[in-house]
Structure 1
C-alpha cells in the first residue's frame, strides 16, 4: 500500500511540475510566436502605424513635421523626435529577417546623416549576435522578436490579440493533458515495479527458508553408510518401543495436549524427531519449520511410511504436519511430501 501511495505522490509532483512549465513558460513562448506571426501577416502600412503609435504612447516620440504626412510609396524608415533629439525609426517587416552587421551599420550612418541621435531597429525577425554588437557601437536600439511582441500587443486591431492568446492556451492545455497521461503512466510503472520487487523478495525469502535447511541435511547423514544397521536387522515393534528414551514417549495420545504452549510443542517435536529416527529405514528427522518435518531415509517409502505415521499420530498437536521425504543417498529420486492426517 505504501508503494502505491509513493507512486501517486510521484505522479502528482511530476504532473504539477509539467503543468507549471507548460503554462507559465511554454504558453508565453507560444503566445509570442503566434503574436509575431500575426504581426508579420499584417500589411506593411498597418504595421508601421501601430509601431509609430506605440512609440508615441510609450516613448513619447512624435513624428518630425516633414515626416508626418504619409507618402504613397512604401516606407520603412521614419524620423521621430522627443523634443530636442531626433531618432530614426527603421521597420523591417517580416519574420524572415536575419539582420547582421551591415544593416545595423547602414541604419547608424543614415541616422547620423539625418541629424538623429541614434536609431531604433524594429523587426519581427531576429538580429544576429554580430548585429547586436554593431548596434551598441552605432547607438542603435534593437527591438526584435520577444522584445517586440509585448510592446505592440496592446495595439493589435480587432480580435487578433484574443485569437493569439486563445491559440496559446489551447496548445498549453493540450500539452498539460499529455503530461497528465505521462505522469499517470510513470506512477503506474513505479507502483508495479515496487510491488514486483516486494514479491520477488518475499519469494526469495521463502525459497531460502525451505532450501537452506534441506541442503544441510546431507551433511548430517553423510557419516552413515547407505546400508545402515536397522535395515540389516530390523527389530520387532515391541523392541523398538523399549529402546526409545524419555518418559514422555510412553504417554498415551489422549493424555497429550492438542493445543500446547510453545515450550511443550518444542518438546513434542524433539521427541517425535528422536523417535522417528529409531524406526527401521529412517536415518534422521529434522524440523525445517513448525509444520514441516524432513525425513532422511534409507528404506522404501511404502515400508517406512506406516512407521512414521505411527509416531506422528501419537501427538495430537503434530498429526497434521507436512512430512518431507528426502531421496535415499545415491538414489536418483524426487523429494516427496505427505501428511499422515488432514484437518
Structure 2
C-alpha cells in the first residue's frame, strides 16, 4: 500500500508544479509572443500611432509638429517634447530586428543634431548586448519586445487582445492536460518500481531466529507378528527385510495426512542428529526451518541428503537461519523442483 501512496503523492506534486509553471509563466510568455506578432502585423502608421498615444498618456510627451499635418515623406522617426525637454523617437517596426551598435549611434547623432535631450529606440524585435552598451553612452532609451508588450497591451484593439488571450489560454490548457497525463504515467512507474523493490528488501533482512520446538513424539505402531518363517530367519536377513519395508513406505510420493506428518517428524529427528545442525522445525506444511551451527556449504548437502529420502517432501522450501551470534542473512533454498 505504501508504494502506491508514494506514487500518488509524486504524481500530484509533479502535476501541481507543471500546472503552476505552464499557467503562470509559460502562458504569459506565449501571450507576449502572440501580442508582439499582432503588433508586427500592423501597418507602420498604426504602430507609430500606438507609440505616440502610449508616450502621451504614460509620460506626457507630445509631438512637436501638428499630428494632422502629413509630411511629404512618411517617416517612423519623430520628435516628442514634455515642454522644456525634447526626445528623438525612432520606431523600428518588425520582429526581425536585431539592433546593434550602428543603429543606436545613428539615433544618438540624430538626437544631438535636432537639439534633443536624448533618444528613444522602440521595436518589437530585440536590441543586442553591444547595442545596449552603446545606448548608455548615447543617452538613448531602449524599449524592445519584452518591455514593449506590457506598455502597448492596453492600447490594442479589443478584438486583437481577446484573440491573443484566448489562443494563449487554449495553448496553456492543452499543455497542462499533457503534463497531467505524463504525471499519471510517472506515478504508475514509481509505484511499480517501488513494488518491485519490496521482495529484494525482504530477502536481505535477516529473519528472527526460530526457537527450536521439540518434534511430536511418534506413537508406537504395533508390529504385526512375524510369520514363523521370518522368526526363524537369520538376523541379517530380518534387518534387510525391515529396511526394505521402511524404504518402500518412505518412497510413497502421495501419502495421506497422517503419513505425511510422520514423514516430517522423522525428517526433523534425522536432521537434528546431523553435524552442524541444531534442529529442524516445520513452520508450515511446505516450509522447513533449519537452525544451523555450521557453515552453509557444509550443512546444505546434509540437509538435502535427508530431504531427498522422502519423495513427498523433496520440493519443500528450506529456510536456513543464521548461526547464533553471526551477522549473515537468512537463505531460502530447495533440494529439488517440480
Classify the TM-score, shorter chain.
Answer: 0.5 to 0.7
Q: TM-score, normalising length from structure 2?
A: 0.66
- For residues 115-154 of structure 1, the aligned pairs below 5 Å read 115-154=115-154
Secondary structure at 1:70's aligned position in 2?
A: coil
Equivalent residue for 1:107?
Answer: 107
Equivalent residue for 1:218?
Answer: none
- For residues 187-336 of structure 1, the aligned pairs below 5 Å read 187-202=187-202, 204=203, 234=239, 273-274=268-269, 287=280, 289-290=282-283, 291=285, 292=287, 296-297=305-306, 323-324=313-314, 335=335
Contact 1:31-1:164 within 8 A present in 2 as well: yes
Equivalent residue for 1:31?
Answer: 31
Question: Could you tell me how far 1:201 is from its partner in structure 2?
Answer: 4.1
Question: Could you tell me how far 1:336 is from its partner in structure 2?
Answer: 5.6
Question: Could you tell me how far 1:101 is from its partner in structure 2?
Answer: 0.5
Question: Could you tell me how far 1:78 is from its partner in structure 2?
Answer: 1.0
Equivalent residue for 2:169?
Answer: 169
- For residues 15-94 of structure 1, the aligned pairs below 5 Å read 15-65=15-65, 69-71=69-71, 73-94=73-94
2:238 and 2:100 map into 1 onto residues whose CA distance is: 110
Question: Could you tell me how far 1:71 is from its partner in structure 2?
Answer: 2.2
Q: 1:51 to 1:271 in 2, by over 3 A?
A: same
5+ residue gaps, structure 2, are 208-235, 243-257, 289-302, 317-333
Q: TM-score, normalising length from structure 1?
A: 0.65
Contact 1:39-1:124 within 8 A present in 2 as well: yes
1:233 and 1:187 map into 2 onto residues whose CA distance is: 72
Contact 1:295-1:323 within 8 A present in 2 as well: no
Question: Could you tell me how far 1:277 is from its partner in structure 2?
Answer: 8.6
1:101 and 1:325 map into 2 onto residues whose CA distance is: 86
Please give the per-residue CA displacement for 1:117-171, whole angstroms capped at 9, x wherever unaligned: 0001100111111011000011100000010001111111241011111111111
Secondary structure at 1:58's aligned position in 2?
A: helix
Equivalent residue for 1:14?
Answer: 14
Secondary structure at 1:102's aligned position in 2?
A: helix
Please give the per-residue CA displacement for 1:258-287, whole angstroms capped at 9, x wherever unaligned: 9xxxxxxxxxx8887337999xxxxx9962
Q: 1:102 to 1:233 in 2, by over 3 A?
A: farther
Contact 2:271-2:279 within 8 A present in 1 as well: no
Question: Could you tell me how far 1:198 is from its partner in structure 2?
Answer: 1.5
Question: Could you tell me how far 1:83 is from its partner in structure 2?
Answer: 1.1
Number of aligned residue pairs: 259
1:189 and 1:172 map into 2 onto residues whose CA distance is: 26
Q: What RMSD, in angstroms, separates the aligned Cα atoms of the two structures?
A: 3.9
Q: 1:84 to 1:285 in 2, by over 3 A?
A: closer
Q: 1:296 to 1:160 in 2, by over 3 A?
A: same
Contact 2:7-2:188 within 8 A present in 1 as well: yes
Please give the per-residue CA displacement for 1:84-127, whole angstroms capped at 9, x wherever unaligned: 00011110011111111111011011011111100011001111
1:295 and 1:83 map into 2 onto residues whose CA distance is: 107
Q: 1:199 to 1:335 in 2, by over 3 A?
A: closer
Contact 2:271-2:280 within 8 A present in 1 as well: no
5+ residue gaps, structure 1, are 210-230, 238-253, 259-268, 279-283, 306-321, 327-333, 339-343
1:56 and 1:102 map into 2 onto residues whose CA distance is: 28
Q: 1:193 to 1:53 in 2, by over 3 A?
A: same
Contact 2:92-2:123 within 8 A present in 1 as well: yes
